[in-house]
Amino acid sequence: QVRLVESGGGSVQPGGSLRLSCAAPGSIFSTADMGWYRQAPGKRRDLVAVSISGGEKNYADSVKGRFTISRDNAKNTVYLQMNSLKPEDTAVYYCNANGIGTDPVSAQAYDYDYWGRGTQVTVSS
């Protein structure tokens, strides 16, 4: 089972900024749809932003204009730049990789949906 590795969470005051990073295996990164989700206590896990392998990017309405997702294919890393943070952005943020891979031995295609352990983001004065 592949586990993605997130970093960059922390505590910040309202209006501040944080950048999250997520490293994924090089074998899947260039063709994976890479996304960030978040889950606040007592709430469901929701999509924040996704970077489609073909280049399209989509954002939740609540973060449009404040958050930016980007990917560095050379480093197999996806980033989430979060600006103008609000208390309601407080949550555990999870990285996700979703796509179709090819087994290197059998050459069989397989669906994958990998997650990180999550990183806490707290916005509070």
Please report which confidence band the pLDDT of residue 124 belongs to, taking 50, 70 and 90 as the band edges.
very high
- When mean pLDDT is compared across 53-57, 85-89, 113-117, the lowest value belongs to 53-57
Please report which confidence band the pLDDT of residue 39 belongs to, taking 50, 70 and 90 as the band edges.
very high
For residue 88, count other CB atoms closer than 10 A to its CB.
10
Measured on CA atoms in the order 42, 20, 26, 49, is the torsion positive or negative? Answer: positive
Per-residue pLDDT tens over the stretch 7-21: 999 999 999 999 999
Q: What is the pLDDT of residue 28?
A: 85
- When mean pLDDT is compared across 31-40, 54-63, 68-77, 97-106, the lowest value belongs to 97-106
- The owner of tokens 């949906």 is 113
Q: What is the pLDDT of residue 55?
A: 87
State yes or no: pLDDT of 1 exceeds 80. no
Element (H, E) at 22: strand 18-23
pLDDT (mean) for 35-62 = 96
User: Which position has the higher pLDDT, 48 or 3?
Assistant: 48
